[in-house]
């Protein structure tokens, strides 16, 4: 496994031959901000299965943080991250500096997430998705992958990236990998390390609320009933400060009308102490054959 820090080093020779004679080796990228956990590793395993070469990027992107304190305290653990990646057969870890990624700061030209950037996570974190898409665009350009793997836990991010790839005709396939959870249901997140034991227990309300919402959807509930079940469950732990629990369109990330039937993402964001957590479940509102 090569650990490289510059774009020039990244342009090294292919490490593995193509699986099929005559093909060029296929490359997958897994983009991360480090502080790796089992959720990231599941992306890497999926990438390893799918492609000849696997590149993992580790870069804490300042452009997607609306709160400087959040950026400062984001864990940076490259050595430990590399130790987790090596046994998974990763070929290259690309861990550039801010100066390497942003030759001019702040960048003059950026990518806009449009409407996707103004709702749900975008409403609570202005500029966040523009920052994410700008760095994803840059990292795609630098790593030149055929496949890019993202975690379904960041459902709105996956929608934003898919939309960028579609609208800007980028030659890459976006693959979403299911959320990895602890046995008690808590979605894995690099931010979980900030939770005290008491906060971690309270944080379980997010996945419990999503399960309640999903159960109502599965028993034929309307969108309003599904959302109400989720919000009602969140209210059981008032110390957890709810930003939103809502239903969003799985393709456009826009809010859904009360009469909506079809696949919906039920997304939740809440503050547990100082730590803001997000989670979601994909469910179906209404009967299968409509």
Residue with smaller CB distance to ligand PAF, 31 or 242: 31
Residue with tokens 């110390």: 239
- State yes or no: 153 annotated in a binding site: yes
Shortest CB 126 distance to ligand PAF, Å: 16
Secondary element (H or E) of residue 150 = strand 147-151
- State yes or no: 138 annotated in a binding site: no
- State yes or no: 39 annotated in a binding site: yes
- State yes or no: 170 annotated in a binding site: no
Contacts of residue 243, Cβ cutoff 8 Å, sequence gap at least 6: 124, 269, 270, 271, 276
- State yes or no: 35 annotated in a binding site: yes
Residues 20, 74: Cα–Cα separation, whole Å: 41
Residue with smaller CB distance to ligand PAF, 64 or 152: 64
Shortest CB 31 distance to ligand PAF, Å: 4
Residue with smaller CB distance to ligand PAF, 149 or 244: 149
Q: Which of 5, 40, 124, 128 is catalytic?
A: 40
Shortest CB 40 distance to ligand PAF, Å: 8
Residue with smaller CB distance to ligand PAF, 128 or 208: 128
Residue with smaller CB distance to ligand PAF, 65 or 244: 65
Shortest CB 150 distance to ligand PAF, Å: 6
Complete edge-to-edge strand list for the sheet that includes strand 92-94: 2-4, 92-94, 53-58, 27-32, 147-151, 173-177
Residues that bind ligand PAF (CB under 6 A): 31-33, 61, 64, 132, 135-136, 154, 157
Asked about 40 being catalytic, the answer comes back as yes
Contacts 24+ apart (CB under 8 A), 44-49: 44/85, 44/88, 44/90, 44/149, 45/88, 46/149, 46/175, 46/177, 47/147, 47/149, 48/88, 48/89, 48/90
- State yes or no: 19 annotated in a binding site: no
Residues 92, 4: Cα–Cα separation, whole Å: 7
Contacts of residue 146, Cβ cutoff 8 Å, sequence gap at least 6: 26, 27, 28, 51, 171, 172, 173
Shortest CB 154 distance to ligand PAF, Å: 5
Nearest 5°: phi and psi at 215?
-65, -40
Q: Which residue positions form the known binding site for beta-alanine? A: 64
Q: Which residue positions form the known binding site for ATP? A: 33-40, 151-154, 180, 188-191
Catalytic residues: 40
């Amino acid at each position: 496994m090569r650990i490289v820090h510059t774009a020039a080093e990244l342009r090294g020779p292919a490490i593995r031959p193509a699986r099929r004679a005559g093909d060029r080796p296929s490359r997958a990228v897994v983009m991360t901000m480090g502080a790796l956990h089992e959720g990231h590793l599941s992306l890497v395993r999926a990438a390893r299965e799918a492609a000849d070469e696997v590149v993992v990027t580790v870069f804490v992107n300042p452009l997607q943080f609306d709160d400087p304190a959040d950026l400062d305290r984001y864990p940076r653990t490259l050595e430990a991250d590399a130790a987790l990646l090596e046994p998974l057969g990763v070929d290259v870890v690309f861990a550039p500096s801010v100066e390497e990624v942003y030759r001019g700061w702040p960048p003059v030209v950026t990518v806009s997430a449009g409407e996707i950037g103004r709702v749900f996570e975008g409403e609570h974190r202005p500029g966040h998705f523009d920052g994410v898409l700008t760095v994803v665009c840059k990292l795609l350009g630098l790593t030149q992958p055929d496949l890019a793997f993202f975690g379904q836990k960041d459902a709105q991010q996956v929608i934003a990236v898919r939309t960028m790839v579609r609208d800007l005709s980028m030659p890459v396939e976006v693959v979403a990998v299911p959320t990895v959870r602890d046995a008690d249901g808590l979605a894995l997140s690099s931010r979980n390390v900030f939770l005290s034991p008491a906060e971690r227990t309270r944080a379980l309300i997010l996945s419990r609320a999503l399960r309640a919402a999903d159960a109502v959807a599965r028993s034929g509930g309307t969108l309003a009933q599904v959302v109400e079940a989720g919000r009602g469950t969140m209210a059981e732990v008032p110390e957890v400060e709810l930003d939103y629990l809502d239903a969003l369109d799985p393709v456009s990330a826009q809010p859904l009308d009360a009469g909506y039937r079809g696949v919906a993402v039920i997304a939740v964001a809440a503050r547990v102490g100082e730590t803001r957590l997000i989670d979601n479940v994909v469910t179906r509102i209404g009967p299968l054959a409509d």
